[in-house]
Amino acid sequence: MRLDRLDDVVHALVVADPATDVTTAARRHALAVAPLLPDDELDALADRVTARVHGLGPIEQLLADPAVTEVMVNAGADVWVERSGRLERTPVTLRPGAAEHLVERIVAPLGLRIDRTAPIVDARLPDGSRVHAVIPPVAVDGPCLTIRRFGVRTLPLDAFAPPPVAGLLRQAVAGRANILVSGATASGKTTLLNALAAEAPPGERIVTIEDAAELRLPGEHIVRLEARPPTADGTGAVTIRQLVRAALRMRPDRLVVGEVRGPEALDMVQALSTGHDGSLATCHANSALDALRRVEAMVLQGEHGLPLAAVRDQVHASIDLVVHLARATGGARAVVEMAEPVPEPADGRPRLRPIATGVHVVAEPTRRRARAQDRRP
């Protein structure tokens, strides 16, 4: 046995006996091959084998770096990371078959399926990190794996905006404004959502709804719901739309929808306009105005037959503030636009009134909502 095959030997032992202590087995077999191996090299070797057998192999060390927010495997070999907002190629190179093995190790315990007939899968690691994998034939050059790390530390609102703008956001949460957070992929929407929800008063019952559970709210009365994809035989799926409807029956003080992507937008809009003030949601968009248009389009995807004018009325009545995020120079995420919907102009097109642009507050919000406790008997 060679040292470079040590992980295969130990993995075979674990398969034969799951109770095998990986670290002990790795040290024992390594010393049998190289009895004069220095202690530091022996420890490093044992750590590597443990990561390969029980963890995520060579990318485990990348995920342990707190500055790394995303790990990307291209074509089953090259490994890139996003570190402090910048993409970097790492010296790590996966050997043939390693990427497929990593994907299978992630999805198998979750009862998910990935093969040539179902070549795309979304999953979640135990720490909350999101995993997206694509394999051939869809991934032409080889398996592609993307892991977006779960941020353990909740950033404050001041990390996204200067004090005047952050202060407006705090006032909006305290005043129970319904806030839609928009931005491009990896612009920090979920992180800002965490920061906004953390400003809610203690004791409020908050129900979160997500595709993959990432939000970690500090309150003591938090209910977390997570969508579920279909099983290998195509059954058992639980959609965001179903979760929104379920959440409305759970007496929430606030709803927090991780991301609105489809017809569930109608249920969310109806919930926000029928008493669930102070709720939060995100969507992909290129600007605050584009976010409103996207919500309208998603509502229209549903099979309800509502005319566009009625949809616009509901969307504008339910959303008090749109907060748009973008990456600043250097990779930092920042609020670049805050606006509130205003009454429809004569041509019926959606219109927004600017509240803040970049670091400057240009107007005070005019839309206010009564506190929920004031409405309850």
- The DSSP annotation for 83-127 comes to ETTEEEEEEEEPPTTHHHHHHHHHHGGGT---SSSS-EEEEE-TT
Q: In angstroms, rounded to a whole number, what is the distance separating the alpha carbons of residues 67 and 63?
A: 9
Per-residue buried b or exposed e for 215-246, using 16+ beta carbons within 10 Å of the residue's own CB? bbbebeebeebbbbbeeeeeeeeebbbbbbee
| Residue 9: band (very low, low, confident or very high) from pLDDT cuts 50, 70, 90 | low
List, in sequence order, every residue forming a beta bridge with 191; answer none if it has no partner. Answer: none
Phi-psi region of 79 (alpha: psi -120 to 50; beta: other; left: phi over 0): beta
pLDDT for 151 equals 62
Structure-block tokens of residue 131: 């995993």
Q: In angstroms, rounded to a whole number, what is the distance separating the alpha carbons of residues 210 and 188?
A: 15
Architecture of domain 58-148: 2-Layer Sandwich (3.30)
CATH fold of 157-375 reads Rossmann fold (3.40.50)
Sign of CA dihedral 266, 272, 350, 188: negative
- CB-based burial of residue 92 (10 Å sphere; 0-12 exposed, 13-18 middle, 19+ buried)? middle
**Tens of pLDDT, residues 242-278:** 888 899 889 999 999 888 888 888 888 888 877 788 9
| Residue 15: band (very low, low, confident or very high) from pLDDT cuts 50, 70, 90 | very low
12: pLDDT strictly greater than 70:
no
| Residue 146: band (very low, low, confident or very high) from pLDDT cuts 50, 70, 90 | very high
